[in-house]
Structure 1
Amino acid sequence: MGKINGCIKCLFIFFNVLFAIIGCGLIYGAVKTTAYSSQFSAVGGPNLAWSWVFAIGVLGISSLGIYAGCSENYLALKIFAGFMAVGMIIMLIFGIVVVVMRNKMKDAFHSTSSEAVQPYMADNELREMLDEIQQSIHCCGLVSAQDWGSTIPQSCECQSSGGNQTHGGSVVTGCKSRPQGTTGPSQIYKQTCSDFIFVWFNIIYQLFMGFCFTFAVTALLGLLISILMIHQVKRYDRAGRPTIAMKGY
């Protein structure tokens, strides 16, 4: 018979194996998103380098939990409980930071001028990405058509000057003439892409917030279970100590 209740031990190990798999998935996701780290940070997104720290931390702590549960090691369980307490606090802090960054990014999207966008528009990858967005959701420019400089791309071309219409699943909000002194389509979309892009980033931020607060709650549960397991190991060790007979003099 082990030191820890069998059901609690199996449940503890199961969830740590599950989070170890999640950690591996996070590492894979970090590898895939590293290439877009600079573009994401440029528009107010969080630094994706932290995703590596978080992914490796989840995998490492889960591995420690698996070892602690299987070995019923008192010290390993205490270390795991300490990581759970620290992790819960960190996840709460990260969740609050993500909320603040989301609000800052929202203000940046609504206050950014075309002049401020120009350094980012010099990046060919960002230009290509914006061009693809314009083709799919029917908008023009990040904050205005002048973001493209003197040459407006063909993806800004608007086919109708009437009111709102639905085209390809996107709402077209009407057309306007291209800015004077520029070349390209004579009619371009009135709607800029910043509102659409913010909707996407807002979804990402909401996922981050849900992710952080979910992990905070999970860390709290892990802390409580590990404390219970530590108590059971300590009680078993005390019960197993030999009784020393007192000598009478």
Structure 2
Amino acid sequence: MGFGGRMDGCGQCIKYSMFIANFIIFVGGAIMFGLGIWTVVDKNFMNELLGTNLFAGATYVLIVTSALVCMVSFFGCIGAAKEVKCMLLTYFIVMFLIFVTMLIGGILGVVFREKVEQTMRQEMHSSLKLYGNRRAVTQAWDQTQTRLKCCGIDGWRDWNGLVPESCCQVTYGGQRKPCIEAPSPLTLYANGCSVVTTNFVKEHAAIIGGTGIALAALIIFGMIFSCSLFKMIE
């Protein structure tokens, strides 16, 4: 049944507010889903150097959670439009569980940001010795050095004279300057990969974390509107 008496105006206001909030939540969930896919497809080249699976694991959780947010927000819009109490109650429960999951994910993200530099340096020191012997490690180093324009852990001297071609600077013509036989600061990337990669991961985590916080805030509004609407429906 619908709203009655003097509650009509207030009820309709909450109804449309919930509809708008869920539309924004749907858009936010879609953005987070896109960020998650982008991370998996475009940013997985450094997984071998991270020293932890927390970053990859958090990304997959992000994809699943954001997809679920899109689905639930869509049903929330239907529940508000049709004034179905069962759908509103289900919406509230699922959104609450998603909110808790995102809160835990945010805490893990903070922990990851604090430990990433130490674990990455340790993994880099270990993997540096495996360069050329293990394909996954070799590709991770080459792609990281090429894409982030860095060389070694703290600099090119970490390679002890056996500098990979991926450390060489690229000229405007698209060719790499000769630097393998006679490496020098003029032909090699100047920055070490430890600081560059750490900053890269932290900045990327901050983008995802900021989007997650904004989406969590919207979810709170969605839950408030659904609870209010649930109580007003006769």
- Give the TM-score of the pair, scaled to structure 2: 0.73
Contact 2:145 2:166 in 1 (8 A): no
- 1:23-34, aligned counterparts within 5 Å? 23-34=29-40
Residue 60 of structure 1 deviates from its aligned partner by: 0.8
Residue 229 of structure 1 deviates from its aligned partner by: 0.7
More strand by share: 1
More helix by share: 2
- For 2:62 and 2:168, locate their aligned partners in 1 and report how far apart those are by CA, in whole Å: 35
- For 2:92 and 2:61, locate their aligned partners in 1 and report how far apart those are by CA, in whole Å: 23
Q: Relative to 1, partners in 2 of residues 1:123 and 1:190: Cα closer, same or farther, differing over 3 Å?
A: closer
SS at match of 2:192: coil
Q: Relative to 1, partners in 2 of residues 1:88 and 1:154: Cα closer, same or farther, differing over 3 Å?
A: closer
Q: Relative to 1, partners in 2 of residues 1:211 and 1:143: Cα closer, same or farther, differing over 3 Å?
A: same
Q: Which has the higher contact order (CA 8 A, sep 6+)?
A: 2
> Which stretch has the larger CA shift, 148-157 or 82-91?
148-157
* 1:8 and 2:14 aligned: yes
* 1:74 and 2:85 aligned: yes
Q: CA RMSD in A?
A: 3.1
Query: Of residues 116, 121, 142 in structure 2, which corresponds to 1:127?
Result: 142
- For 1:73 and 1:201, locate their aligned partners in 2 and report how far apart those are by CA, in whole Å: 44
Contact 1:24 1:55 in 2 (8 A): yes
- Give the TM-score of the pair, scaled to structure 1: 0.69
Number of equivalenced pairs:
207
- Cα deviation, 1:159-198, whole Å, max 9, x if unaligned, reads xxxxxxxxxxxxxxxxxxx9xxx73424456641221221
> Which stretch has the larger CA shift, 189-198 or 65-74?
189-198
SS at match of 1:7: helix
Larger Rg computed on CA atoms: 1
- 1:83-162, aligned counterparts within 5 Å? 83-119=94-130, 122-124=137-139, 126-134=141-149, 139-145=150-156, 146-147=158-159, 150-153=162-165, 155-156=167-168
- For 1:190 and 1:203, locate their aligned partners in 2 and report how far apart those are by CA, in whole Å: 21
Contact 1:114 1:147 in 2 (8 A): no
- Where structure 2 has 5 or more consecutive residues not aligned to the other structure, the ranges are 170-178
Spell out structure 1 runs of 4+ moving beyond 6 A.
none
Residue 38 of structure 1 deviates from its aligned partner by: 4.0
Residue 50 of structure 1 deviates from its aligned partner by: 2.0
Residue 95 of structure 1 deviates from its aligned partner by: 0.6
Contact 2:92 2:227 in 1 (8 A): yes
> Which stretch has the larger CA shift, 202-211 or 188-197?
188-197
